[in-house]
Structures are given as C-alpha cells and as structure tokens.
Amino acid sequence: MKRAQSALEYLTTYGWAILLIAVVIGILFKLGLFAANTFSARAPPGSCYISKPYGPNTTQMLALQGLCTGALPQYVETFGYNAFGNVPNNIIVPTNMLTLTGWGLLTYNNQGGSREDMISIKGGGPCGMILGYNTSGNTIMADIELSPVANVLTGTNGAIKLNQWYFYAATYNGVVLNLYVNGQNVGALAKSGNFAQCNAPTYIGSGTPSESSGVQYYWYGDLADVQAYGTALTPQEVQELYIGGIGASPTALTSLIGWWPLNGNMRDYSGDGLNAQTGGQNTIYQQSWASAYTPP
C-alpha cells in the first residue's frame, strides 16, 4: 500500500514535467530537428565543379572535379524584394533550344505581383526565357520570348505550397515548351519560333527588368542548384536531375551554359566564369534549411 501511494505521489509530482518534455520532443520532431537531413554530411562551397582544360566556352574533355557525390549543400541562398543576383557578362544562347532548372522554396506569395521569378536569361526582343512561380495559380510558369511572339505557359497542375522545396524545370526544343515540377510534366505549349541573335543578361532570384517599365519580379524565399543549358533536356534527364536531389551535379555537360549551386556564393561552376554579383539589397546564405527538404 505504501509503495502504491509513493508511486502515485511520484506521478503526481513529476507527471506534468514528463508530459511537458514529451510535448517539446514532439514539437522538435515536427520541426524536423531529428530528421536525417539535419545531420547529413554537407558539401562545402565549391566542392564540385566542371573542369574545362581548353578554357571557357569549350567542350573538349569536360569533366566533373572534386567531391561530386550529391551531398546536401552547406548553404542555400535567400532572396526577397530587391535582393537578387545578376551576371555582368551576357550569356549567348548558342542554339534555338534552352533549359532552365533549379530548386526553390517560397516563403511568401506576393499577390501584388503576377509572379516570382527564379532565373531569367532574356534579352531585348525575341530572346530567351524566364522560369518562376505564378502567384495567382500557385504553380510553376515560364515566359518564353520567341520570334515572332512571346508566350507565357503556366502549369496546369502541380500546385506549389509555401515553405516546401520543389524542383522546377522548363525546356524548349524549338517546337514545344515543357514545364516540370519534381520531375513530372505539368504543362506543355506547342509553339515554333526562334531566339533571334540571343545575347542575354542573366538574373537569379528575379526576372529581367522590363524594358518599358523597369518592373522586376522577385523571388521570395530560398534557391539552390540553378542550372541553364543550351539544349532541351529530355524528360529522362529532367527526372535524373530531380532524383539526384538538391546537391545534384549537372547532366549534358557539353550543353551546359551556366551552373550556380548558390552554396555560399553566386559563382558559376560551369567553367565559363559567369559569376553573378549581388544586385539591390544583399541576399542571405543560411544553413538551417534542410528540415523543409524531403529527398526524392
């Protein structure tokens, strides 16, 4: 009887403390503190890069160098209003084909603007493409500038939720523009045209400023592993990049025209030296991003 009474008194005294600890542990699990991603090995900035022994803009003997294991990056880059990156030297789109890809997490739906742009390689006139997020449809979008007309394609499904990582991709092969979310096709637009003498500025975390109004659509959230190709990646290659995860190295190296991992800097690791610089307000590199990321 005395033992039972002692046990009851112990539970009464310490029960609330035990319950409180259980609640706190549950909250930490929900926040992802104990997720495997939180403790995974991280790739330091510049750990993987493309070697071009014959110099920039060459395609002979290309090779990935360093620790190209697909490990999670140490950092991702946070963008917002008037915080973006731009490449000082224009990019030449070498063919009538283009692919833009990147991992993105949105923290804010800017309903005041029609979209939030992840990457823009677009010049004046019929030249280039923008990949981003449609704020009214909560889905992916691409703005492609072709001769004789520009077109905007919005994904028909694959809704984007805030505070979650997604893999975005847009490909154009001279005949069809395709959109992908997490490796799955969510929209296609049949449109023949060409990029007329496409020598274009590049913006990361925003779109190219409008020639007439100067309006610029900013990305509100985090970005990582942004890539651009002067070809249309196949659905299999897009799926391969997605399955590789947020630390995936590029595919189709001979067609790669820009690779910005955004792991602690805005350097271009394609071997062509197309390093971006901060435009407007400073961006932020942060390490506490992995709890919102689910590996493919």
Does residue 7 lie in a domain region? yes
User: pLDDT > 90: what percent of the chain?
Assistant: 68
Separation of alpha carbons 8 and 166, rounded Å: 51
> Can you give the pLDDT at residue 15?
52
- 36 within some domain: no
| Residues 7 and 120 occupy one common structural domain | no
Q: What does the pLDDT read at residue 31?
A: 42
**What pLDDT, on the 0 to 100 scale, is given for residue 121?**
96
Are residue 207 and residue 97 in the same domain, yes or no?
yes
Query: What pLDDT, on the 0 to 100 scale, is given for residue 9?
Result: 53
Domain carrying residue 218: 43-292
- pLDDT band at residue 6, thresholds of 50, 70 and 90? low
What is the arithmetic mean of pLDDT over 6-26? 48
Q: Name which of 60-74, 145-159, 206-220, 230-244 the model is least confident about.
A: 145-159
pLDDT of residue 151: 85
State the pLDDT at residue 34. Answer: 41
CB atoms within 10 A of CB 3: 7
Residues 3 and 79 reside in one and the same domain? no
Task: For residues 17 and 69, state if they share a domain.
Answer: no
Given a cut of 60, whether residue 261 has pLDDT beyond it is: yes
Same domain flag for 70 and 18 = no
Indicate whether 38 belongs to any domain: no
35 located within any domain: no
Mean pLDDT confidence for 12-37: 45
What whole-number distance in Å separates Cα of residue 233 and Cα of residue 98? 8
- Same domain? 75 vs 4: no
Q: Compute CA distances 7 → 2, 18, 189, whole Å.
A: 9, 14, 71
Question: Confidence band (pLDDT; 50, 70, 90) for 8?
Answer: very low
Please tell me whether the peptide bond between 148 and the residue prior to it is cis, using omega within 30 degrees of 0.
Answer: yes
Q: Between the CA of residue 200 and those of 37, 87, 89, what are the distances in Å?
A: 37, 10, 9
* Per-residue pLDDT at 136 exceeds 50: yes
Is pLDDT at 237 greater than 70 in this prediction?
yes
Of 3-7, 74-78, 208-212, 256-260, where does mean pLDDT reach its minimum?
Answer: 3-7
**Distance in angstroms (rounded) separating the CA atoms of residues 204 and 225:** 11
Q: Is the pLDDT of residue 287 over 80?
A: yes
Q: Are residues 107 and 171 in the same domain?
A: yes
pLDDT for residue 108 is more than 70: yes
Domain count, the chain: 2
Decide which of 37 and 262 is more confident.
Answer: 262
- The residue among 296, 78, 60, 55 whose CA lies nearest residue 183 is 296
pLDDT one-digit tens code per residue, 172-202? 999 999 999 999 999 999 988 888 788 899 9
pLDDT digits (tens, 9 = 90+) for 35-92: 445 556 799 999 999 999 998 989 999 999 998 999 999 999 999 999 999 999 899 8
Residue type, 281: Q
